[in-house]
Amino acid sequence: MSQHSGVPPLTIQRLPLYLRCLIQLQSQRVDVVNSQRIAELAGTNAAQVRKDLSYLGEFGVRGLGYEVDSLVVHLARWLGLQHTRNIAIIGYGRLGAALQGYGGLQDRGFLVTAVFDNDAEKVGMPISGGIVVESMDRFAEGVKENNIELAIITVPASVAQGIAETVVAGGVKAILNFAPQRLELPSDVTVRQADLAAELQILSYHLREDFGL
């Protein structure tokens, strides 16, 4: 990804949103779209859309816009979605089970191929998709057997760091962490923190600031 090192982090965060909007336009049989329409769907402004897309190369025709199909292909390629990415879920509690059963992941290019847990009562349990819950003791083997590239951690905060270290030792370099615990991992590992409580606190702020509630 070194050739994209100059792309701002906020731009990277907006690109999946643009892709989702473009796929929506595809379903509506829209062939060409301008930056203003993308901005309306994405909740930003046309200048921001043009600036973000400019980091990826020269696209679009002045006065006409962007060819939807071509831009979808390019964004998918840039985001590394040319092929399905296999995922392991670590922690088969309520959240882990919900994520494993969520069909929307596969629609976006991701497939849960393995689930791991340290609870002896869960290990060996058959679940949907032909998956059997495996012990974390077999994580490294499971990575190789299932060609796992990403891991989703849904374990208690008290064990999250140790679990993450096991994940990295197994060869996985991309982690989505749902545990309310900051992970200390090598610099070559990419971690995204999914913090539901923080998002709700931000919404609470807007209720107070905007509506006095």
In this predicted structure, what is the pLDDT of residue 5?
Answer: 57
Q: Which domains does the chain have, with CATH numbers?
A: 2-78 (1.10.10.10), 85-197 (3.40.50.720)
Q: Are 134 and 155 in contact (CB under 8 A)?
A: no
Instruction: Provide the whole-model pTM.
Output: 0.82
pLDDT in tens, 62-100: 778 899 999 999 999 999 888 899 999 999 999 999 999
Q: Which whole number is the average pLDDT over 102-111?
A: 86
In this predicted structure, what is the pLDDT of residue 138?
Answer: 96
In this predicted structure, what is the pLDDT of residue 57?
Answer: 82
Percentage of the chain lying above the pLDDT 70 cut: 97
In this predicted structure, what is the pLDDT of residue 213?
Answer: 75
Mean pLDDT over the full length of the chain: 91
pLDDT in tens, 2-58: 444 578 989 999 999 999 999 999 999 999 999 999 999 999 999 999 999 998 887
In this predicted structure, what is the pLDDT of residue 1?
Answer: 39
Q: Where are the beta strands (DSSP E) in the chain?
A: 32-33, 66-67, 85-90, 110-117, 126-127, 131-132, 134-135, 150-153, 174-177, 190-193
- In degrees, rounded to 5, the angle at the alpha carbon of residue 127 between the alpha carbons of residues 155 and 124 is 75
